[in-house]
A and B are shown apart, each in its own frame.
Chain A
Amino acid sequence: NAGVMQNPRHLVRRRGQEARLRCSPMKGHSHVYWYRQLPEEGLKFMVYLQKENIIDESGMPKERFSAEFPKEGPSILRIQQVVRGDSAAYFCASSGDTGELFFGEGSRLTVL
């Protein structure tokens, strides 16, 4: 029974390029969350999605960042025109109806 799957695990981009991070939730889970963790900092909520719907994007920067969770396929966090400050670990989590979030291993973005 696979857990939350994230890819790529590591991604290197140059300033101005686009980064796409993918997340497949645990089987049976319909809620997906994206968090960002900067070095030596805590986990910061970005966005909460259900299939085809963004439920809460209160932690998402207003520009350059977008997220989707289509009817078919993984959830995608997209960062356009990346800057050095976007370098971080991006974690995806999923949950069922009980409220516990189960996390993937993260995608580590490095912007050169």
Chain B
Amino acid sequence: EDQVTQSPEALRLQEGESSSLNCSYTVSGLRGLFWYRQDPGKGPEFLFTLYSAGEEKEKERLKATLTKKESFLHITAPKPEDSATYLCAVPPTKGAQKLVFGQGTRLTINP
């Protein structure tokens, strides 16, 4: 069964304290790995797509990287406004175009 597992479930950091979030997946023949940010009461906001091992993408204080079995979302010198739930998702091994989501990492940045 296709699975997407994110860790940790929750993470509290002080402002400026860098860290990484992990997303591991079990799908075969990866057709892209997607990162989203979700604020409370809002819909997920698209951040990045990664397609091949070794690929990296950056946006402000966020950098996403991809290996053959997992992806990392690195957060450098975070600010309180980076507090959100971060979701990763992959298309399933078989079947139509859709995304399978992990449970998310709830990130809190304290000032």
Residues of A contacting B42 in the complex (Cβ-Cβ under 8 angstroms): 105-106
B-side binding surface: helix, strand, loop or mixed? loop
Q: How many residues of B sit at the interface, in one of the four size bands?
A: 20 to 34
Contact (Cβ within 8 A) B44 A103: yes
Contact (Cβ within 8 A) B44 A48: no
Which of A12-20, A60-68, A76-84, A93-101 is found at the contact surface with chain B?
Answer: A93-101
Distance (whole angstroms) from the CB of A41 to the closest CB of chain B: 7
A42 sits at the interface (CB 8 A) = yes
Q: Which residue of A lies closest to B43 (CB)?
A: A103
Write the A34-74 contact mask toward B (1 if CB under 8 angstroms, else 0). 01000001111100100000011010000000000000000
A42 in complex: contacting residue of B45, B49, B91, B103, CB < 8 Å: B103
Sample (17) of A-B pairs whose CB atoms are under 8 Å apart: A33-B99, A42-B101, A43-B44, A43-B87, A43-B89, A43-B101, A44-B101, A45-B98, A45-B100, A45-B101, A56-B95, A56-B96, A95-B97, A98-B49, A102-B46, A103-B36, A103-B43
Contact (Cβ within 8 A) B45 A103: yes
Residues of A contacting B96 in the complex (Cβ-Cβ under 8 angstroms): 48, 55-56
Contact (Cβ within 8 A) A106 B43: yes
Q: Which residue of A lies closest to B99 (CB)?
A: A101
Residues of B contacting A22 in the complex (Cβ-Cβ under 8 angstroms): none
